[in-house]
Amino acid sequence: MKAYVFPGQGAQFVGMGKDLYENSTLAKELFEKANEILGFRITDLMFDGTEDDLKQTKVTQPAIFLHSVILAKTQGDDFKPEMVAGHSLGEFSALVANGALSFEDGLVLVSKRAMAMQKACEAEPSTMAAILRVEDEVVEQVCSEIEEVVVPANYNSPGQIVISGSFKGIDMAIEKLAEMGHTKAIKLNVGGAFHSPLMDPAKIELAEAINSTHFNTPICPVYQNVNAKPSSDPEEIKQNLIAQLTSPVRWTQTVINMIADGATSFTESGPGKVLQGLVKKVDRHMEVASL
């Protein structure tokens, strides 16, 4: 079975999508429609902006979504997913790719999500850190013993977990892990503590937007971040999408489950090759590719 996966924040680069815009009439139409929906020319920032332009959450998230979704749509009849998944923001791209969401509704939700998250980040300055070569259970235990806000946020691959929380909480967790002999920790250059309780204010706004949006029955299951399980039920998909904002991204478990359910290859649709690398860390024999 052919699985398609869609990247999240951090995969962006200046110039992303420009070749699509220039070489496909359909891509150009969709990009221009996106400029109208967003109320600003995101294409200018994607194609010719600066890295700082693209780092703004309100730009990053729609930009990655557009690159991922438009790339899939330009494949025409060759695009036949049998299962899909997306990493964090990428779950919205996956839901457009499998027909659960329209292109327009997906973009509006991604834009609202980005704005709400940016607001939450500004209200409560916070951050994230990657912890390498440590068992998940050890990281979970350390986080649970700290009284500041700090939680596991992304289970990316075996031996790579990202924690999220207040600046103090992150520092305390890194310090405690170092005392235990685990020194491989990298603070991430992100706007805030995504997938942590600090995103609660954004979750309220996002829930309102998602609950008032029509979701279709998809053409194939989406493996969702919250529980790493497949779903084709529109109501269940909605609730998992809302919960995703303050819950960890269970990517390792998602890839394991997709392989167990028959995935024979993973094709990444969007900027970069991050997800292909993570799939290989779960199963080094798995066939991976970019669209």
| Active-site residue flag, 285 | no
pLDDT higher than 90, residue 57: no
**pLDDT: which is higher, 276 or 124:** 276
The pLDDT value given to residue 55: 84
The pLDDT value given to residue 216: 98
| Active-site residue flag, 290 | no
Place 58 in a pLDDT band, splitting at 50, 70 and 90. Answer: confident
Domains for the chain: give ranges and CATH numbers.
Answer: 2-122+197-290 (3.40.366.10), 125-187 (3.30.70.250)
The pLDDT value given to residue 119: 92
Give the mean pLDDT of 65-79.
96
pLDDT higher than 90, residue 3: yes
Place 191 in a pLDDT band, splitting at 50, 70 and 90. Answer: confident
DSSP state of 139: H
How does pLDDT run across 202-223, given as a tens digit for each residue? 999 999 999 999 999 999 999 9
**SS3 (DSSP) at 94:** helix
The active-site residue, picked from 195, 196, 231, 269, is 195
CA dihedral of 218, 221, 222, 228, whole degrees rounded to 10: 150
**114 backbone dihedrals φ, ψ, rounded to 5°:** -60, -45
Share of the chain above pLDDT 70, in %: 100
Place 30 in a pLDDT band, splitting at 50, 70 and 90. Answer: very high
The pLDDT value given to residue 228: 98
The pLDDT value given to residue 11: 86
pTM higher than 0.85: yes
Nearest to 271 by CA among 72, 64, 106, 24: 64
282, amino acid identity: V
The active-site residue, picked from 67, 68, 88, 126, is 88
Transcribe 219-257 into DSSP letters. Answer: SS-EE-TTTS-EE--HHHHHHHHHHGGGS-EEHHHHHHH
Token code pair at residue 121: 């980040």
Give the mean pLDDT of 136-149.
97
The pLDDT value given to residue 171: 97
The pLDDT value given to residue 258: 98
Mean predicted lDDT score pLDDT of the chain: 96
CA dihedral of 289, 232, 198, 45, whole degrees rounded to 10: 50
Question: Can you tell me the distance from the alpha carbon of 282 to that of 256, in angstroms, rounded to the nearest whole number?
Answer: 7
